[in-house]
Chains A and B, each alone.
Chain A
Amino acid sequence: MGEFWSTAVINYCIALGVVLGGSMLGGIGAFFGNEPPMDTMLHLSEQLKIWALVAALGGTFDTIKSFEIHILGGELNQVFQQLAFILSAFFGAHFGTILIRWLIQGDL
């Protein structure tokens, strides 16, 4: 597998893990904090989506900086690669949210 694909899969899995793990452990915390666990998990899965994206890409600033460098350097191929990484992280985070919603509400 090429470097591009492996990075895309890793980004996808990181974003998915952040949403799933964050929601699950947040649910446990809610249980100890005398809050409804499932409801808290549902809210957390929505809130963590954007942070999962950021965590998967390793910070937004670096990505934006690389956009600037590659666009100004005329390397559009690299720009599309970065866009693909962002998209894969987004899909991972979104899939995590969908999974949690399905787990709690029983529908997608």
Chain B
Amino acid sequence: MKTSTQIQAFRIAVSLALGMMAGLAIMNLLYGEKLDALYLERNNLYYRNNEKFKKIQMLEKDLDKRNDNQYIGQDISVEVQLPENESRFYQDQLRQEVQELMQPFVGKSVHWISDHPEVLDSMLGKRIIQLEGDQTGTHTPKVFHLKLKYLTFVGSKLKIWVIAQEKTGKEKE
């Protein structure tokens, strides 16, 4: 047999539960519209994010395909930068020499070279080029050492900029 106090406590608990439900229903009605708008916005953002993700994946795939198919062609462009007081006569000769040095890279993947530019740098950096003078005797034989300044790729075309500096007598020794 339940006492009147127990019954009263039970009534209070039930009233509290009903009140909570009523409060929840009222709050739901008051803020439901805003919540719906937020859910809609969230779904829209999910959709747009997925679209962007798919696009990025597609572009990455395209980029990989392009990189894999590109190889360095024969037409390597070389720009030689000589010291200001140096004769331009040596420029073409140096360009030709550097182009010959670049021959092992012809047919290599552009992707591979752009990932490892230090190979080119170390190859040119330690190189000493000896040029012969012309027959008239205006230009004397000289020794240059090279330094890689820049390298770029225009499609599959490799273009490099090289700084050439004359090797002095002390350095030669």
Q: Which residues of A contact B (CB under 8 A)?
A: 24-25, 27-28, 31, 35-39, 41, 103-104
Contacts and interface: CB of A to CB of B under 8 A. Distances in A.
A39 B36 contact: yes
B33 A38 contact: yes
8 contacts: A24-B28, A27-B28, A27-B29, A36-B35, A36-B36, A37-B32, A38-B32, A104-B33
Interface string B17-42: 00001001100110011011001100
Contacts of A24: 25, 28-29
Contact of A38 (B21, B25, B36): B36
Contacts of A41: 32
Nearest to A21: B25
B28 A28 contact: yes
B35 A28 contact: no
Interface residues of B, number: 11
Contacts, number: 36
A38 B40 CA distance: 12
Binding site of A, secondary structure by majority: helix, strand, loop or mixed? helix
Contacts of B28: 24, 27-28, 31, 37
A103 B29 contact: yes
A25 B36 contact: no
Q: Which 3 A-B pairs have the closest CB atoms?
A: A36-B39, A38-B32, A36-B36
Given A36-B40, A103-B29, A31 B35 contact: yes
Contacts of B35: 31, 36-38
A104 B28 CA distance: 11
Interface in B58-103: none
B93 to A, nearest CB: 75
A36 to B, nearest CB: 4
A37 B25 contact: no
Given A36-B39, A36-B40, A104 B32 contact: yes
B119 to A, nearest CB: 55
A1 to B, nearest CB: 29
A93 B29 CA distance: 20
